Structure 1
Amino acid sequence: MRDGEVLLVTDVQNDFCPGGRLAVPGGDEVVPVINRLASRFRHVVLTQDWHPEDHTSFASSHPGKAPFSEIEMPYGPQTLWPDHCTWESEGAAFHADLDIPQAQLVIRKGYHKEIDSYSAFFENDRTTPTGLSGYLRERGLTRIVCVGLAFDYCVRYSAEDAVAHGFDTIVIEEACRAIDLAGSAAATKASFRDRGIKLR
């Protein structure tokens, strides 16, 4: 791969794979694809969902609310999820077959109790940064190749933020899987077209 290019591997964790608490259909199928891609990159960043047990995005934190329902938070609409990726749990661990020893950075997100975090760049309030943009610029990395889970949530938000911050942004569809709530996968593809995010 060319100089200035980084592979952004999003949330390839046990809870997002079959048998996990928020399993993405076919989530484990991305692992060998991502491993093959990663072997061609000098620069790799991983993200890891990392929630406290009482995170506000969990349906269990809102009595009477069901998983996948939606509530209004101070920062806007929030989908309520099954408890997942609680920090230091087996579900939060990377998939055992993920093999990217050259990864240089792990961005943990969603660790603030009161706010969810889909993007690798910002919390869901869209103002609290993770520091990833500054890291990439300081390293001279200008093109981001996005893969992982889930295509229509954390990969989507990360790709949208990447292109909004001036990075050349590509999403490798074969290396992603979607949750697809209420047509969210199709909406993601439409958003990518509108924003000039390349889908390959």
Structure 2
Amino acid sequence: MKALLIVDLQNDFLPGGALPAPDGKQIIPVVNKLLDRFELVIASKDWHPEDSIHFEKWPLHCLANSEGAAFPAGLEQSKINTVVLKGTRNSDDGYSAFEATNLQLNNYLAENKVDELYICGLTTEYCVKNTVLDALDANYKTYVFRDAVEAVKAKAGDEEKAWQEMQSAGASIVYSEEIRKNA
């Protein structure tokens, strides 16, 4: 079984949000096209408490139940089967979707007999990269959509370094047009 995992496609990571990926909005139509190509679609959300240690490094963003933590209006949410929440404790950063606290993602994927994971979302050099590396560590055949991932670009060079790290670890970099319905 193949599944699509949308990482943190949330308002605060889009232009106008608290921690935006400058070109983040351009991936929404690409992600929407991908939704029809997978039977199982999972989305992760940053879901931070106000007193999170995460905010020692980052501006306040994706506070639980806030508009910034919501999916953008343009995302076709009805096609998402389940949402995993990460960074929910004040003592963790929650960079990877595999750190979700409301649902153990690895167990969920195993229950659904997923062996191939296709990943898109925000942001390349943090949450996407950490999710991809954890997927590879969990022995999923892992694909990352080059045209459906964007970086926050907090530090020069980190985006390209993240792509190299994911590929070196074993992820396959693909483009959305390569994937047909029922991937």
Same fold per superposition (TM over 0.5): yes
Cα deviation 1:14-59 (Å, max 9, x = unaligned)? 1000100011111111111100011111110000110111211113
CA spacing shift, 1:130–1:153, aligned 2, 3 Å: farther
Cα deviation 1:92-140 (Å, max 9, x = unaligned)? 11011100313111000001001111101137xxxx8951011101110
Contact 2:6 2:119 in 1 (8 A): yes
The equivalent residue for 1:169 is 142
Distance 2:167 2:7 in 1: 21
The equivalent residue for 2:128 is 155
Q: Give the alignment partner of residue 195 of structure 1, picking from 151, 157, 169.
A: 169
Count of residue pairs the alignment pairs up: 173
Question: Match of 2:126, as an amino acid?
Answer: Y
Cα deviation 1:161-189 (Å, max 9, x = unaligned)? 10111100000010010123242112112
Say whether residues 1:57 and 2:30 are aligned partners: no
Length-normalised TM-score, structure 2: 0.90
Distance 2:102 2:71 in 1: 23
Length-normalised TM-score, structure 1: 0.83
Secondary structure of the structure 2 residue equivalent to 1:91? helix
The equivalent residue for 2:36 is 39
Question: Match of 1:56, as an amino acid?
Answer: I
Distance 1:11 1:129 in 2: 15
Report matched runs for 1:106-185 at 5 Å.
106-122=83-99, 131-180=104-153, 181-185=155-159
CA spacing shift, 1:101–1:148, aligned 2, 3 Å: same
Secondary structure of the structure 1 residue equivalent to 2:53? coil
Distance 2:63 2:166 in 1: 30
Structure 1's consecutive aligned runs of 4 or more residues displaced over 2 angstroms after TM superposition are: none
Q: Give the alignment partner of residue 81 of structure 1, picking from 58, 62, 65.
A: 58
Q: CA RMSD in A?
A: 1.5
The equivalent residue for 1:19 is 16
Contact 1:21 1:83 in 2 (8 A): yes
Secondary structure of the structure 2 residue equivalent to 1:145? strand
Structure 2 gap ranges (5+): 175-183
Secondary structure of the structure 2 residue equivalent to 1:101? helix
Question: Match of 1:188, as an amino acid?
Answer: A
Give the structure with the larger helix fraction: 2
Distance 1:175 1:102 in 2: 17
Question: Match of 2:146, as an amino acid?
Answer: E
